[in-house]
Amino acid sequence: MSIFIDGSTRLVVQGITGRDGGFHTRQMIEYGTQVVAGVTPGKGGQLFDDSVPVFNTVAEAVERHGANTSVVYVPAAFAADAVFEAADAGIKLIVCISEGVPVQDMMRALPFVKEKGARLIGPNCPGLITPGVCKVGILPGQIVMPGPVGVVSRSGTLTYEVIFQLTRAGIGQSTCLGIGGDPLIGTNFVDCLEAFEADPQTRAVCMLGEIGGTDEQVAAEYVRDRMSKPVVGFIAGQTAPPGRRMGHAGAIISGSEGTAAEKMKAFRDCGIAVAERPADFVDLVGAAL
């Protein structure tokens, strides 16, 4: 089992003929993902790498090839439009990789996605991967292995680091995903924790947060009140000075609730084991299993 993607995922790539879209499409196909179509307005009728049909609209990809999932590799200025189009065409899972999407664009897109009954992951995220089955986004497939641990993170590169540490120790993963570090995102920690709790393959969860906002505190309360599976947590930005943005648009301390110390305390108070550094996940997860 897994969360959000599996062997039935039929993917359309928005921006397939661009540099990033093309590169990662090849990686996803090589991993085994069913990439059924691509979309680039004005380039409909072409074939990507002589195998994947390119359409002008997502609606055509859904109608002709039954696409049910979309991944967005388009410039930030057009990313929200791509999300609107995918949701309007009936796509149920939209993964937006694009970085730098204006917050005001997401303020319009998120209600529309919800209204259409779709799920958005991102923007500014690495996507997700179910080891050995399917990957949607930019996560490196060579570092994962199938197993019982779910991984969810606000940071892309920290996701890779923790996955690598787990795999090297022989601890496999059920699904790994990065939810993005922007102030407004489509899928939060609680959404993922709820899905992992319901997934029979997942026996423990690694949750990687960072400074800024209160999402980690809300997630900690959800773990305390609603989860039966053990969770190991980590907070990035433990030495960040207040008022300075650290990498992600949402990673800025604007009060005591946004600090690493406050978040780590919330984790401990709610029964979440806290890793001081990514390498600590191996021992903590091993003990939890």
**CA–CA separation, 121 vs 110, rounded Å?**
10
Using 50, 70 and 90 to split pLDDT, how confident is the model at 155? confident
Residue 210 confidence (pLDDT) above 70:
yes
Residue 239 confidence (pLDDT) above 80:
no
pLDDT of residue 244: 54
Residue 256 confidence (pLDDT) above 60:
no
pLDDT digits (tens, 9 = 90+) for 112-144: 999 999 999 999 999 999 999 999 999 999 999
**CA–CA separation, 58 vs 23, rounded Å?**
20
pLDDT of residue 184: 94
Residue 233 confidence (pLDDT) above 60:
yes
pLDDT of residue 240: 61
User: Up-side HSE of residue 193: CA atoms within 13 Å toward CB?
Assistant: 26
pLDDT of residue 255: 53
Strand partners of residue 173: 149
Q: What angle do CA 270, 161, 273 make, to 5 degrees?
A: 15
Q: What is the pTM of this model?
A: 0.94
Is residue 173 a contact partner of residue 202, using CB atoms and an 8 Å limit?
Answer: no
Task: Write down all domains in the chain, each with its CATH number in brackets.
Answer: 10-121 (3.40.50.720), 140-288 (3.40.50.261)
Residue 246 confidence (pLDDT) above 80:
no
Kindly state the percentage of the chain with pLDDT values over 90.
86
pLDDT of residue 245: 53
Give the least confident one: 54-58, 83-87, 133-137, 157-161.
Answer: 157-161
pLDDT of residue 251: 47
- 261: tokens are 């110390």
Higher pLDDT among residues 214 and 170, named by residue: 170
Catalytic residues: 248
The greatest distance separating any two alpha carbons of the chain, rounded to the nearest whole angstrom, comes to 57
**CA distances to 5, 15, 138, 148, 214 from 57, in Å:** 22, 11, 23, 38, 38
Kindly state the percentage of the chain with pLDDT values over 70.
93
| 194-211: average pLDDT | 96
Q: Which DSSP category does 279 fall into?
A: G
pLDDT of residue 258: 73
| 179-189: average pLDDT | 95
